[in-house]
Amino acid sequence: MPPKRASSSKRKAAADSDGEDASQSTKKAKLDGADATSSSSSNTVQGAQPTNKVLPLDISFPPRISDCIRIATWNVCGLATSQKKGFKYYVEAEDPDILVLTETKVNNEPVDPSLKSRFPHSYWTIAEKKGYSGTAVLSKIKPLSVNKTIPGHPNPSIVKGRIITLEFENCYVIGTYVPNAGTELKTLDVKNEWNEHFTKYIRELDQKKPVIWTGDLNVAPTEIDLSNAKKNWNKTPGYTEAETTAFKNILNPPETEQLSNKFVDVWRQEHPSDKHYTYFSYRFNYRAKSIGWRLDMFVLSERIVDQVKMCEIRSEIYGASDHCPVTMEIEGPL
């Protein structure tokens, strides 16, 4: 989810990042646009991310690793708009066993025969406010149970549209579209409350079974997870001391919580120094400038991290959304 920088200058704020659920004035992307690039080639130097502004003409990925489950997450920045810009071509190429969608902005559960045929088990949570937030988990595998709440959270309207937990035999899969701390950090208290109750929730689940947590987590954990870190520190939602500390404490619980297990930010563990991002604002040509944030990720209970065989940002899949998908393969069954 795009963070919005706190600033007295609206134009300056926009130059750093976009506001949550803000409408975009970009033109409709075309699959055969001039900026399209093949997924098997790159228009950037080795190690850098692609800078295409619409989806590639040809989308293909390596075959999945044997005996693995493929899970993908994608902030689609409005499902209806994304579907007009090539959403289905990515889904067909990725063909995940579980697909977590965030910021769907749907007002009713979509009737999409192609999605239903691919994912017979689909779960949607829709915000009370129309055209706002929204999370979905689409699965080829039937879960044992489904939960769309954070137990103990005092404000159900904040939670609605932002979390879905699927329980499987060997693990939990949590998909989240974590709240934004707001312009000028006006809703940081809402974010802090979410973090408090979510942290308790994920730790309680982890005591029962390992957890796979994914989606738009709306935090840049460290300075290498966003551009212009120094300028944004404690000024921009997603990169404040309160938010980064809450995330760090999930990964490595404080000594006072001796019974809590550790979690791992999988992509970062596998790419300890790469400055790759999952979100690039549509504004100010930020994609071409590689100015972005890493907000979408997979966080796993430490004891199952060795089962992960692949975790990648699908950096070339840009244009159907202002976010890139992230995908992971883990030894099954779930």
CA distance 323 to 334: 27
Asked whether residue 135 is domain-assigned, the answer is yes
Asked whether residue 312 is domain-assigned, the answer is yes
Q: What is the mean pLDDT of the chain?
A: 88
Is 218 annotated to bind a ligand? Reply is yes
Asked whether residue 36 is domain-assigned, the answer is no
CA-based torsion, 198, 69, 161, 224: positive or negative: positive
Token pair in block for residue 87? 């959403």
- Report pLDDT for 25: 33
Q: Report residue 332's pLDDT band, with 50, 70 and 90 as the boundaries.
A: confident
Q: Is 239 a catalytic residue?
A: no
Q: Looking at the predicted structure, is the pLDDT value of residue 14 above 70?
A: no
Is 67 annotated to bind a ligand? Reply is no
CB atoms within 10 A of CB 118: 17
Q: Looking at the predicted structure, is the pLDDT value of residue 9 above 80?
A: no
Asked whether residue 40 is domain-assigned, the answer is no
- Report pLDDT for 1: 57
Is 197 annotated to bind a ligand? Reply is no
Spot the catalytic one: 90, 177, 277, 282. 177
Query: Is the separation of the CB atoms in 294 and 278 below 8 Å?
Result: yes
Q: State the DSSP H helix or E strand holding residue 213, giving kind and residue range, or none if neither.
A: strand 211-216
What is the domain-level CATH number for residue 157?
Answer: 3.60.10.10
Spot the catalytic one: 16, 18, 97, 216. 216
pTM exceeds 0.85 for this model:
yes
* Predicted confidence (pLDDT) per residue in 167-223, tens digit: 999 999 999 999 999 999 999 999 999 999 999 999 999 999 999 999 999 999 999
Asked whether residue 138 is domain-assigned, the answer is yes
Asked whether residue 19 is domain-assigned, the answer is no
Q: Is 277 a catalytic residue?
A: no
Separation in Å, CA 55 to CA 38, 45, 52, 61: 9, 19, 7, 14
Spot the catalytic one: 16, 18, 197, 323. 323
Is 323 annotated to bind a ligand? Reply is yes
- Report pLDDT for 43: 43
Is 32 annotated to bind a ligand? Reply is no
- Report pLDDT for 21: 40
Q: Count of domains in the chain?
A: 1
Asked whether residue 54 is domain-assigned, the answer is no
Domain of 121, in residue numbers: 68-331
Is 243 annotated to bind a ligand? Reply is no
For helices 241-251 and 188-206, what crossing angle results, to 10°? 0
Asked whether residue 1 is domain-assigned, the answer is no
Q: Is 177 a catalytic residue?
A: yes
DSSP code of 150?
A: -
